Structure 1
Amino acid sequence: MVFSWFHLALIIFLLAGALFAAGPLLISRLIAPRFKGGDIGLPYECGIRPQGSAWSRFGVNYYFYALIFLAFEVDILYLFPVATYYPHSEGFLPLIKLFIFLFILGVSIIYFWRKGVFSWPRRISL
């Protein structure tokens, strides 16, 4: 392999890119003030001292509802590409596929509703 100016330029640009990415990290590590204790260790450094416990615990139900919301929200997001493609489609096949998707989504909501997933229990016993 013959070493050319292109190879040299490629190596220089790779090194410059690495320095460009790592430079601010290294410089901030060298010149940043190092304080331990005081208000730095407090949660939510907004200038107000926290009242009560900073480590409030959320119930498992909260996270479970958040995951269900995300799952159905992502399913609904699949409808946007269909809506943009629909005026360019021919025939009823895309409309039938859309109704099949909405039917499966509706059946899954009914299934979860019957299982009692959407009812918020007072307390979970583990």
Structure 2
Amino acid sequence: MLRTYLPAIVFICLGGIVGGLFITAGSLLGPKPKTPTKYQAEPYESGMPSEVQQGFRFGISFYLIAMLFILFDIEVVFLYPIAVQLRAFGTFALIETAVFIGLLVVAFVYVWRRGALEWR
């Protein structure tokens, strides 16, 4: 029973060790604030102090493109299991995959023509 779970246990342990090493290295090697209380209240992103003011708002096109990216990205993830086991599924899966990709292309062209991908 333990043999079947051994690879997963090793993977989880290695992930925890690598994550712990990264956190420790970041705290030891990262920049140290001169006055800790001053920098704790400020936003911090990607290793650099943020220059964005509190009143900054993103445009609606940012959120629209982000949602479209997530939508198409998740739909493409559904193709992975079929690609791995295509021979086991047979011709029917190949036809269904072609229809699925065709619908993705039609949706992408529709979004593109409507100007949703234009950065305004």
Under a length normalisation based on structure 2, what TM-score does the superposition of the two structures give? Answer: 0.57
Give structure 1 regions of 4+ aligned residues with deviation exceeding 6 angstroms.
45-48
Bigger relative contact order, structure 1 or 2 (CA pairs below 8 A, ≥6 apart) = 2
1:54 shift after superposition: 3.8
Alignment CA distance shift 1:89-1:114 (3 Å):
same
Per-residue Cα deviation, 1:59-91 (whole angstroms, up to 9, x for no partner): 22112111100000001101101111202123x
- In structure 2, stretches of 5+ residues that fail to align are 1-36
Q: 1:61 matched to which residue of 2?
A: 61
Under a length normalisation based on structure 1, what TM-score does the superposition of the two structures give? Answer: 0.55
Alignment CA distance shift 1:85-1:69 (3 Å):
same
Q: What is the number of residues matched between the two proteins?
A: 84
Distance across 2 between alignment mates of 1:47 and 1:98: 42
Distance across 2 between alignment mates of 1:43 and 1:69: 26
Q: RMSD of the TM alignment (CA)?
A: 2.8
Distance across 1 between alignment mates of 2:94 and 2:57: 46
Alignment CA distance shift 1:83-1:45 (3 Å):
closer
- In structure 1, stretches of 5+ residues that fail to align are 1-36, 122-126
Residue identity (%): 30
What does 1:33-112 align with in structure 2 at a 5 Å threshold?
A: 38-44=38-44, 50=49, 52-55=51-54, 56-90=56-90, 92-112=91-111
